[in-house]
Structure 1
Amino acid sequence: MQKPAIKYLTRIALATTMVLITACDHNPRQWKSPNMTTLTPRLQPMFEKTKTICFGRFMVDVPATAAVAWGGSDVPLGVSIYPDGVNEVKALAQKFIDELNNEKAINHDDVPLLLSVEDMAEPEGKIVTGYESFQSINGLKINGYFKLNSDGVIIDARPLRDDRDSTIADIKSIARRLRQRAENETPTEPGNCIENFFLPDSPDDEKNHPGELISLGFRLKEFPDAHFSIRTHPSNPHDPESTSLKRQWQRVIDDPATPEEKKALAKIKYFRQSPREIHDWKTGYELLLRNPDEEGVHSYHDFELRFTGVPHDPYRPYADIQLQTGVADNAAGATKASLTDEEAIAVWDKITSTIRVRPTSATPVKSADAGPRLPLGELAATGRTCPQTGWWENDAPGLPENSRRQHIKKGERMPHAVAQGAPSLWQKLRGEQPVYRTATVWKLVAHGDAPPPASSNIAAANGSANDKDAPEKKG
């Protein structure tokens, strides 16, 4: 059966249900919004009572009757919450141990993948370390399983072998800092709200925010087919505009893949296509549309607001906010939309206008670049503290040109150079690419957060400049 063209197009441009919200200071003004649509008489009772939901470093007001559904959280390691799930987490820990014990590491004399199990008393739990896969050379997987009152928590990471000790220390730190919170609790200290818990920042976070990924959704009791979702994660440090909603949608409009898609595009009803900003953050773009009826798919609303964000700024990350109607069994258009066009826009405007940075009592972190700049050509070796925010270049042998330059912030540790090695037969069969690190000397070639010099070709896959956030490690 042929896939409906509208549904396919929406998947290309809008289906990534992510979001974010942000302002540059901790007490922002209201979002600058288009002309807000007035609530209809049918909607007014739903918004008479609202509740504030804290997520990540932000908060949003939704109807008091709305149900909250949390997705994944990386802060910066993956944290999964199992409400009242202590026994379930214990079972998952034993399953993970058994799986590691029952598989052999062919590159390590066929020993079991399991490397260690460390019991913890505070909080109660255990940390399990093993090789990432049976053909792994340097990759590990480390999972922490914990009991926090009545809830079970799993913290997972995928570091390199050299980062084993530091990763275990990070898992212990996160587990010890996590504290339970009620849904309506809004903490006043710096940190991240996740499902049922709050994770206060550590002193290291205040100096070098590692980047967080938070996702959640809302189901409206009065209109159960209307789903609102938010996801935030760090802005692309190499090319923020590559995630621009306006740019991506324009590509779909300019170059539809098939004649059917071209016809489908002509049927879309547009309500709003315009920039959207909050305070002094001007990287947002809003696209509000309604897809027409197609064979097997009802007409439904698909609204999205996306911010490309500001690199290295935890209060202005990449964000994607979405509202869809006609949702059933997690598929938009599976049922008839219960909201009219006017009502869908009013709900959208009402909720998005309340997204804001969570106020805290902490003083905002000052720029790491305060003071005179070091001259271009300054040298810094792997392991040294970075003396100047900017673009740094290394000349380690055997590296591709697009991996020689990285953006590194003052105060971070100067990283190893990361290179791709020749894959083994098993890695070729599994489509994997080995990664190796080497110590090197870095040279400062550009200051601040400006784009790199025109001659550079930075690959987004290089990930964070800090070894702790290397792309091989989750989070």
Structure 2
Amino acid sequence: MKRAACKLAAALLALAALVLLGLFILNAVQGTQDRKMVAKMTEKMKTVCVGRLLIDVPETAEVTLTQASVDGFDITMRRESEAQFAARIALREAELKEKQNELGRKNLESARDVNVNGLAGRILIHGRERTYLIKNEQRVYSENVAIDGYAHKNGVSFDLISTGYDPKLVGNVARLIAQIEPRLQDEVPAQPGFCINGGFIRDPLTADQHESVTMFAGLPGHPDLGIVFSTLSGTKPDEGLIARDAKAEEQFPLFLRAAFSTLRKGERTLNGLPGEEVAFKAREANFAVTYSFRWEMQGKQDDVYAPVLTLELGAGRNPRAGGKPLQSSMSEVALLDLWDKISSSLRVRTASPPKQVAQAEPSLPPLGTHASAGDTCPQSGWWLCNQGGDGVGVLGGQRQFLKKGQRMPQALLLPPQTLWEKLKGIQPSYESKVATTWELVDKRSRPRTPSPVVLAPSSSTQGNAMTDQQHASSGGPAAPIGSYVKTGSPCPASGWWRCEDSQALDGTRWFAQGSFLPVATFKLPPRAFGKSAGPEVIQRRSQWQLVRYAQAPGPEPSAPDGGNNPEAPKSSA
């Protein structure tokens, strides 16, 4: 009996050895075949531009770029005709007009066209809401708006959508639209900027605009396999991948740890990009073998070329069943080859600014250029205000002459007078909480005309004004050319000062050092107070900019780009 038992045991051991040998040979053959398959699959690769990075994937890979976001705007692309685009935006605008916002006011606050760099579209400001924070046991209120930006060019549309946006920064959407260019999916731009789905956002972009986008890629014949690559700028470095993986592993019970096998774990630099890599395989509860490969770079918060990067490759998940585990369609050696081929191609896209023609004249902003209140005016000319209308006037008119270099003004709005206000000679006025947007409609200028009214004088106290000798002994002027000083403040330097509000009647005036800068004077439209004759004016605080030092009121500085109170042109050039 013992001899028979020994023979049976020996036979079973021999059978087990044969089975193991067969499995080893089968795996070796399968691995060799899979490696040949991966080598053929990766023989031809295509380069994909993802944000500011490039990555190579198999030519047959199906690639999509999603979840693009810049400066708080979610950006999506769709292909449609110009007629389809116009109909879609008109429907959206009509829907917004029918609603009220949370404050019980009309929902759609502003709707204007945008036309820049061949992109035509519309910007809708709506959905104002009020929120608050508790600070020092008190409620601090703030208001937000929703912004819809739409642009279309050559059969490609871009939607820029944001909710909860600061009303003072609504001009950001117009500037962002002006930076967008459509591109082919496999096109790699030569200029510096950020690649999104079907498009490209030209620089300048800064890290605090938090640019981000994600790439998804799949391979035909391998539905269980997925490749994900994402980039996000402007975030603080977090705990590294290896440290997080170690903490997660410590929390696993022993029976789960036994189901995982680490393939790789350590630091890995990809073409100058320092990061960490973790790869493992797992035996799932249904006995399926799955694989996970991950590489991360924490980056730098203030560098758009060193964002947070995450590259993943997973195999053995059924996308049609919510990611349920299934047997990987590729072997371990094949997946390692594929992972190394793709990950080692990751690199920063080298780009250079467009070449400039030698001694070329700097290009001037075209008609249709937009700028918001607080921006520096890029071109002297006539600018159209987006506010006013429906009985609400704009001080100085909706078309105003603004000079290059001055700050774009916030429009002072003049609502219709009540009968009582007309009798009392009162003109109400207010400023919108939404930043005024201006559109350049005419580059022509007009000569200066004398002011039709007496302007507010500067005031001074005895002994405030300085003589030339005192001024020289004091070490020179207390303010550099270009300085801004508010109404009511002492003038820091004798000279010619230009009123910041171009629609003011003051223009450029001489003030002595030590005198107090006056209020600015504005002419109201005829019959604004219900009177039939005589110019009607109002005065309000403003800012003055120093344009030239002068100890005495000599000749006024010339202004070839326009006057201080020009008449508006009847038509644009």
Instruction: Give the structure 2 partner of residue 267 of structure 1.
Output: 259
Instruction: Tell me, in whole angstroms, the C-alpha distance in 1 between the residues paired with 2:272 and 2:345.
Output: 16
Instruction: Tell me, in whole angstroms, the C-alpha distance in 2 between the residues paired with 1:52 and 1:161.
Output: 38
Instruction: Give the structure 1 partner of residue 250 of structure 2.
Output: 254
Which structure would you say has the larger Rg?
Answer: 2
Deviation per residue, 1:94-116 (Å, 9 max, x gap): 5644554454334x3x1133212
Instruction: Give the structure 1 partner of residue 328 of structure 2.
Output: 337
Instruction: Tell me, in whole angstroms, the C-alpha distance in 2 between the residues paired with 1:195 and 1:334.
Output: 30
- Distance apart, 1:246 and its partner CA: 1.7
Instruction: Tell me, in whole angstroms, the C-alpha distance in 2 between the residues paired with 1:322 and 1:85.
Output: 36
- Distance apart, 1:264 and its partner CA: 2.2
Of the three residues 71, 77, 95, the one matched with 1:81 is 77
- Distance apart, 1:179 and its partner CA: 1.7
Is the Cα–Cα contact under 8 Å of residues 139 and 161 in structure 1 kept in the other structure?
Answer: yes
Instruction: Tell me, in whole angstroms, the C-alpha distance in 2 between the residues paired with 1:235 and 1:38.
Output: 44
Deviation per residue, 1:281-318 (Å, 9 max, x gap): 43x111111221224x8432111111111121111111
Instruction: Give the structure 1 partner of residue 111 of structure 2.
Output: 117
Give the SS at the match of 1:226: strand
- Distance apart, 1:85 and its partner CA: 6.9
- Distance apart, 1:247 and its partner CA: 2.2
Instruction: Give the structure 2 partner of residue 306 of structure 1.
Output: 296
The yes-or-no answer on 1:286 pairing with 2:274 is no
Instruction: Tell me, in whole angstroms, the C-alpha distance in 2 between the residues paired with 1:147 and 1:217.
Output: 25
Instruction: Give the structure 2 partner of residue 67 of structure 1.
Output: 62
Instruction: Give the structure 2 partner of residue 241 of structure 1.
Output: 238
Instruction: Tell me, in whole angstroms, the C-alpha distance in 2 between the residues paired with 1:188 and 1:197.
Output: 13
Deviation per residue, 1:106-140 (Å, 9 max, x gap): 4x3x1133212212344221111112558795011
Q: 1:300 to 1:235 in 2, by over 3 A?
A: farther
Is the Cα–Cα contact under 8 Å of residues 192 and 351 in structure 2 kept in the other structure?
Answer: yes
- Distance apart, 1:174 and its partner CA: 2.4
Is the Cα–Cα contact under 8 Å of residues 88 and 152 in structure 1 kept in the other structure?
Answer: no
- Distance apart, 1:43 and its partner CA: 1.2
Of the three residues 154, 158, 175, the one matched with 1:153 is 158
Give the SS at the match of 1:42: helix
Is the Cα–Cα contact under 8 Å of residues 105 and 111 in structure 1 kept in the other structure?
Answer: yes
Give the SS at the match of 2:67: strand
| Amino acid in the other structure paired with 1:150 | G
Is the Cα–Cα contact under 8 Å of residues 288 and 303 in structure 1 kept in the other structure?
Answer: yes
Higher relative contact order (CA 8 A, sep 6+): 1
Q: 1:228 to 1:85 in 2, by over 3 A?
A: farther
Deviation per residue, 1:145-186 (Å, 9 max, x gap): 2222112210123354442xx333x22222233222223321
- Distance apart, 1:345 and its partner CA: 1.2
Give the SS at the match of 1:312: coil
Identity %: 22
Q: TM-score, normalised by structure 1?
A: 0.59
Q: 1:63 to 1:115 in 2, by over 3 A?
A: same
| Amino acid in the other structure paired with 1:179 | E
- Distance apart, 1:334 and its partner CA: 4.4
Q: 1:101 to 1:315 in 2, by over 3 A?
A: same
How many positions carry a matched residue from both structures? 311
Cα RMSD, aligned residues only: 3.0
Instruction: Tell me, in whole angstroms, the C-alpha distance in 1 between the residues paired with 2:45 and 2:273.
Output: 26
Of the three residues 142, 145, 151, the one matched with 1:140 is 145
Is the Cα–Cα contact under 8 Å of residues 183 and 198 in structure 2 kept in the other structure?
Answer: yes
- Distance apart, 1:272 and its partner CA: 0.7
Instruction: Tell me, in whole angstroms, the C-alpha distance in 2 between the residues paired with 1:325 and 1:98.
Output: 47
Q: TM-score, normalised by structure 2?
A: 0.50
Instruction: Give the structure 2 partner of residue 217 of structure 1.
Output: 216
Is the Cα–Cα contact under 8 Å of residues 291 and 301 in structure 1 kept in the other structure?
Answer: yes
Is the Cα–Cα contact under 8 Å of residues 89 and 153 in structure 1 kept in the other structure?
Answer: no
Q: 1:267 to 1:352 in 2, by over 3 A?
A: same
Is the Cα–Cα contact under 8 Å of residues 276 and 297 in structure 2 kept in the other structure?
Answer: yes
- Distance apart, 1:87 and its partner CA: 6.5
Is the Cα–Cα contact under 8 Å of residues 192 and 198 in structure 1 kept in the other structure?
Answer: yes
Of the three residues 172, 175, 189, the one matched with 1:187 is 189
| Amino acid in the other structure paired with 1:268 | F
Q: 1:219 to 1:182 in 2, by over 3 A?
A: same
Give the SS at the match of 1:175: helix
Instruction: Tell me, in whole angstroms, the C-alpha distance in 1 between the residues paired with 2:316 and 2:90.
Output: 41
Q: 1:186 to 1:264 in 2, by over 3 A?
A: same
Instruction: Tell me, in whole angstroms, the C-alpha distance in 1 between the residues paired with 2:86 and 2:130.
Output: 24
